[in-house]
Amino acid sequence: MLRIINVVGARPNFMKIAPVIDEMRRRSARIESLLVHTGQHYDESMSDSFFDDLRIPRPDMHLSVGSGSHSEQTARVMIAFEKVLLENSADWVVVVGDVNSTMAASIVASKQLVKVAHIEAGLRSGDRTMPEEINRLVTDAIADLLLTPSRDANENLAREGIPTEKIKFVGNVMIDTLHRNLEHARISRILDKLGVSKGEYCAMTLHRPSNVDSRETLSGILDALESISHRLPIVFPIHPRTRMRLEEFGLNERISNLKDLISIEPLGYIDFLNLYSNSRLVLTDSGGVQEETTALSIPCLTLRNNTERPITVTEGTNRVVGNNPEVITREAFAALERPLTSKPSPELWDGKAASRIVDAIEAAS
């Protein structure tokens, strides 16, 4: 019997681990799995309905580490997770993505000689000013099994000297979650509530420090949104960090005065999936949204100078445009002029990644 401890630290991690946990439970005769939530991010929307709507398993353990600086948070996760491993023997620790909890749990497991499997391994932006990039590099350097979502991730790991036998191309598990919830999302009435029609609005997310922590940059992005909103309405669920900066910089009134910018509170996954899957264009600085729009053939502009998911550009519908307002506006107008076309999803973005992930862990055991 394999004993596996799965570690998540933030809401997006649950989206990725959910189909993997389901697959492990289908193999309960051979696998015993536990789910540990470090509590790195506390999200009030993670209520009972969040887990029920998305059929996401509730954590077996919650470490409640809370927020803090990157170093403080990483240290608290390490201290708390060490106790988990001392009290619960495990053959594998499975980590997901690139949050602080991913790196912290990997370090602890490695020091206690417990094998580490990293889901979404090998992604690189080349930008070491991003904390997530450091988390990716460290986790992949010490992981025993690197489960990659795309061929370019394999190439990144090979360049870094990771032995080929540790690398397994399994596909994108986030697309598993997308496929199994897309039909369910059609029950959402969010478009009716917002007064927008399918294919006739732009959806937006914005939260990264490089975009929102500078008044000049954030104000420039608002300039672009004002121009774009003359062409079609923009629905903007505002992240708590962004909301705080808008208030701090005195930009709330400007947001309120943009007639065709519909600013709302953050949405749950089902409502947000319905929102962006029915949009004409998506503006974002989120990694996951780049992938999901690619899987759905929805034009996406990424408001960053780089992406750790280049396959969404080379094979998908994503364009990396930075945060210069003139470039954002120009690229948005160009996207609206191009006819919508359906593209095939990248290789192994087929909704079956979770099965391949668990196969790989069993084979490596």
Distance between CA atoms of residues 237 and 340, nearest Å: 24
| Angle, in degrees to the nearest 10, between helices 353-363 and 11-26 | 70
User: By the 8 A CB rule, do 7 and 36 touch?
Assistant: yes
207: annotated active-site residue: yes
**Residue from 37, 70, 207, 239 carrying the catalytic annotation:** 207
Residues 215, 269, 50, 21, CA torsion sign: negative
Distance between CA atoms of residues 38 and 46, nearest Å: 14
Burial of 174 (0-12, 13-18, 19+ CB in 10 A): buried
Written as six digits, the tokens of 361 are 């862990």
Distance between CA atoms of residues 259 and 247, nearest Å: 19
Distance between CA atoms of residues 262 and 265, nearest Å: 10
Name the residues annotated as catalytic: 207
